[in-house]
Structure 1
Amino acid sequence: MFPIVIEINFPSGTPAFTINGQSAVVVQDAAATAKETAKPATSDAKDATPATISAPVCLRDIEQIASMKLKKSSWDYFSSGAMDQETLQLNSEVFSRIRIRPRVLRDVSQVDLSASLFGYKFASPIGISPTAMMKLCDESGEAGVGRAAASFNQVQTLSTFTTVSLEDVASAVRSLPDYPHAKAQRIPNLWFQLYVVEDRKKAEELVRRAEKAGYSALVVTVDTPRLGRRLHNIRDPFRLPSDVKHANFEGNNSATLDNEIGQGGAVALRNNNDASLNWDRDIGWLRSITKLPLVVKGILTAEDAELAIKAGVDAIGVSNHGGRQLDSVPATLEALPEIARAVAGRVPIIFDGGVRRGTDVFKALALGANFVCVGRPSLFALTWDGEEGVRKMLDMLNEELRLAMVLAGTTKISAITMQFVRHESEYGKL
């Protein structure tokens, strides 16, 4: 039996009570209880009906539902971080340290969330980060997420390690009713994430397939020469179910790869990822084999941002891999200002890490990001209600961002700058 969590501001010390014979716990803030690694011990059934939230109204609600619907091993795989999970927790917590400085008596009757990148105009600056093995959440998998993002004119970045092939995801997006880019060479709403494997022919083959299928940008993950040490996955080893395949590698020693990925990804990355990847040889090689916009994802320092620009990248991805690689690195929001100062507008900055509120998006934009992406929330939304759940999740974030802009006194994404935010320490002197 699951505890009931009710988001009501009762006075502290209010005793527990019961609803329909089930015990309930009163908390001051339901979001604070929805830690990313919290998993009800008894919720191993895929068809579990959460007793806590019947109609989610925010991303934390959706996360709570997903924690109860997913199998424990899948939940641990998706939600856990490296080692003590300090960075995982920080990614979300640091947003509360930034205060918004609202301006008043401004005309905010018309708010424009649109943002442009790589020559395309999107409905908002919110996108979906690459996450693997989405069919563990819902049968529609990556195709459902792609269709949801495209239906909102927003971006999905498809992982290398998908359970729906990159071609099938592209076809699913093109098949949307009245999709404006159905016949176009490029699909603005789909980017492809690449791990550069030791076999350069395999890496180049993936790039060529993405180009042919119509993907409009290439996102190269550079913070994973080896997989981080994730204790939850060591204690409760993840195995890929036999009916879920690594679709991008079918027919290419797929049985071996499925077995490797089925062990949680560590074996696959150890056996395939290239730990010798470097700026001069490899980023230059990637730049030479494709004309797609090139994003380098996994930058946390000004020095690497400068090297990325010198290497000719088209955008910088500020990311710590969701706290799943090296623990104790900065939260991405902590690293963002340093990188934004170094980049100085020369290339766009794409941010991810810990975003759960529209105000989080607002703060990241104010601190220098041009686009803000979410990873785990897309998995949780897919678990909750499939493709429609992802649509609802994006709608929640967009509307929260719109409201934040109205209440802060700005009407355009480009106008969200440092003037709107301050660190809490500036207000902590009273």
Structure 2
Amino acid sequence: MSGSAREAGAVPPVCLADVERLAEDRVPTEVRDFVAGGSGDESTQAANRAALDQVRLVPRVLAGSDAADPSGPLLRGTAAMPVVVAPMAYQRLLHPDGELAAARAAAKAGVPFTISTLSSYPLEEIAAVGGSTWFQLYWQRDREQVLDLVRRAKEAGCEALVVTVDVPVMGRRLRDLRNGFTLPPHVTAANLGGVPLAATHTRLPGASGVATHTGQAFDPAIGWADLAWLRERTTMPLVLKGILDPRDAARAVELGAEAVVVSNHGGRQLSGAVASITALPSVVDAVGGRCSVLLDSGIRSGMDVLRALACGADGVMVGRPVLWGLAVDGEAGAALVLDLLRAELRESLVLSGCPDLTAARGLTAVLA
């Protein structure tokens, strides 16, 4: 850590919750609510955490190893741990370097970084940082704009195309509505253009400028036929993010998806949706090894990563903790979050008698 994060006498963060607490004093209330909040009564967000805490693992003993290797294959590549930095919008809200800093931290940690359609730096600049980058696509009303984003992502060297399928419209996020949340002038959707972007900076009582913009720009009628159309027009590995029903997972495989992400968007879309970890086992069964399965929503520790692996996931996506790290100390803060996550995962592997990820996926998980 650097700067104020290393004030004399301060105890350095030793877990992701510590980083979040440090960030609370460094982020304006409106921005903190935008990042931390969920949709509706935020019960789905709470359910993610409660459901993860209910998963208890049965450790093995006498593994014959004093170390554990958290690295392994992930989609078409390899990663230092089974973690992908999730797509998150407008990261310059948390730090001037925004996505550039977070992508550098991910590259140093040896994990993929997912660039959002709504990133506050152009995707080309983020991809140029180095490391493994994926690109997340929000389906635009203009199909030519969709194809242009996909083309740009491929030319920039992005290794996968992550299509978010659970946002036909933005969930009703009450904190943002109460705050009349808008983006400051220096933060924009750098990959997009056109008149609708003005909405992100227009403050109206009881409205969210971000939600207004997405309502104007995103196509709520996206369907399976659109994804089939896209599959025919790109050779990039296709990842569908926002799957909870096993029937949708099976259809994604039939469409040619190489991975699905079991996700309720961190509790930010359908209020009352099932917790992601609860939906995971049935999705794993439905795809039957025909594609990779990642878990998103609520991962807050290395133990949570191990829980996901034991429940059948090939890896996880981590979101908000990286943003809190950015807020605390830019690239160094984001790197700290990923370092803590890897250290916790390694310790959890050793304590559960797992020398590697294959063994982790063989652990027995029970519900407390």
Equivalent residues of 1:316, 1:349 under 8 A apart: yes
Aligned to 1:235: 178
**Which whole-Å CA distance do the structure 1 matches of 2:91 and 2:188 have between them?**
11
Aligned pair partner of 1:282 in 220, 223, 226: 226
| Pairs within 5 Å for 1:401-416 | 401-416=345-360
Deviation at 1:420, TM superposition (A): 2.9
What are structure 1's unaligned runs of at least 5 residues? 1-46, 175-186, 425-430
Corresponding residue of 1:354: 298
Quick check: 101-110 or 382-391, which moved more?
A: 101-110
1:327 aligns with 2:271: yes
**C-alpha contact (below 8 Å) 1:366/1:421 kept by paired residues:** yes
Equivalent residue, structure 2, for 1:88: 45
Contact 2:65 2:355 in 1 (8 A): yes
Instruction: Report SS of the residue matched to 2:239.
Output: strand
Larger Rg: 1
Q: CA 1:371–1:419 in 2, change beyond 3 Å: closer, same or farther?
A: closer
Equivalent of 2:200 in 239, 257, 260: 260
The one of the two structures with greater contact order (alpha-carbon pairs below 8 A, sep at least 6) is: 2
Instruction: Say if 2:134 and 2:159, in contact at 8 Å, map to a contact too.
Output: yes
Which residue does 1:103 correspond to in 2?
Answer: 60
- In the TM superposition, 1:293-372 aligns within 5 A as 293-372=237-316
Q: In the superposition, relative to structure 1, how do residues 227 and 51 fare at CA in structure 2: closer, same or farther (>3 Å)? A: farther
- In structure 1, C-alpha distance between the alignment counterparts of 2:362 and 2:62, rounded to whole Å: 20
For 1:165-195, what per-residue CA distance to the aligned partner results, in whole angstroms no more than 9, with x for missing partners? Answer: 1011112x23xxxxxxxxxxxx6x1000000
Kindly provide the CA deviation profile for residues 2-57 of structure 1, in whole angstroms up to 9, marking residues without a partner as x: xxxxxxxxxxxxxxxxxxxxxxxxxxxxxxxxxxxxxxxxxxxxx99999964111
Q: Cα deviation per residue 1:208-264 (whole Å; 9 max; x = unaligned)?
A: 000111100000000000111111111112111112222112xx32x6414337644
Instruction: Tell me the distance in 2 between the aligned counterparts of 1:380 and 1:53.
Output: 18
- Give 2:108's aligned amino acid: S
Alpha carbons 1:50, 1:69 under 8 Å: kept: no
> Equivalent residue for 1:184?
none
Retained in 2: the 8 A contact 1:296–1:316? yes
Q: Per the alignment, in what secondary structure is the counterpart of residue 247 of structure 1?
A: coil
Match status 1:208 vs 2:151: yes
**Unaligned residue ranges in structure 2 (runs of 5+):** 203-207
Take 2:174 and 2:8, find their aligned partners in 1: how far apart are those partners?
29
- After TM superposition, give the deviation of residue 122 of structure 1 in Å: 1.1
Partners of 1:385 and 1:221 in 2: CA distance: 29
Distance 1:52 1:316 in 2: 45
Q: Higher mean Cα deviation, 267-276 or 194-203?
A: 267-276
Do structure 1's residue 63 and structure 2's residue 8 form an aligned pair?
Answer: no
Question: Residue 265 of structure 1 aligns to a residue in which SS?
Answer: helix
C-alpha spacing 1:285/1:316, structure 2 compared with 1 (3 Å)? same
TM-score (norm 1): 0.81
Q: Secondary structure at the match of 2:274?
A: coil
CA–CA distance in 2 between the matches of 1:110 and 1:356? Answer: 23
The alpha-carbon distance between structure 1 residues 105 and 49, as it changes in their structure 2 partners (threshold 3 A), is closer
CA displacement, residues 337-390 of structure 1 (integer Å, 9 cap, x when unaligned): 111111121100011111111110000011011011111011001001100111
Q: What amino acid does structure 2 have at the position aligned with 1:95?
A: L
Q: 1:120 aligned to 2:77?
A: yes
| Shift of residue 310, structure 1, vs aligned partner | 1.1
Distance in 2, matches of 1:261 and 1:191, equals 28
- Cα distance 1:362–1:261, how it changes in 2: closer, same or farther (>3 A)? farther
Check conservation: 2:196, 2:216, Cα contact below 8 A.
no
Whether the 8 Å contact between 1:359 and 1:404 is mirrored in structure 2 is yes
Change (3 A) 1:49 1:393: closer
Paired-residue identity, %: 40
- Per the alignment, do residues 264 and 49 of structure 1 end up closer, same or farther by CA in structure 2, a change over 3 Å counting? farther
The corresponding residue for 2:103 is 146
3-state DSSP class of the match of 1:104? coil
| Residue of structure 1 in register with 2:214 after alignment | 269
**Take 1:336 and 1:142, find their aligned partners in 2: how far apart are those partners?**
29
The amino acid that maps onto 2:199 is N
Q: Which residue of 1 aligns with 2:339?
A: 395
User: For the residues of structure 2 that align with 1:335 and 1:190, how far apart are their CA atoms?
Assistant: 27
The alignment status of 1:219 with 2:159, answered yes or no, reads no
1:79 pairs with 22, 36, 39, which one? 36
1:193 counterpart residue number: 136
User: How far apart, in 2, do the equivalents of 1:92 and 1:359 lie?
Assistant: 12
CA contact under 8 A between 1:246 and 1:258: conserved in structure 2? Answer: no
Partners of 1:221 and 1:52 in 2: how far apart?
Answer: 44
SS of the residue corresponding to residue 248 of structure 1 reads coil
Does the CA contact (< 8 Å) of 1:53 and 1:65 recur in 2?
A: no
Whole-angstrom CA distance in 2 between matches of 1:269 and 1:286: 21
Aligned-partner Cα distance in 2 for 1:75–1:49:
22
Give the C-alpha shift of residue 418 in structure 1.
5.2
- Change in Cα spacing, 1:98 to 1:269, as seen in structure 2 (3 Å) is same
Distance 1:53 1:221 in 2: 40
- The answer to whether the Cα contact below 8 Å between 2:308 and 2:316 also exists between their aligned partners in 1 is yes
Is the 1:49–1:68 Cα contact (8 Å) retained in structure 2?
no
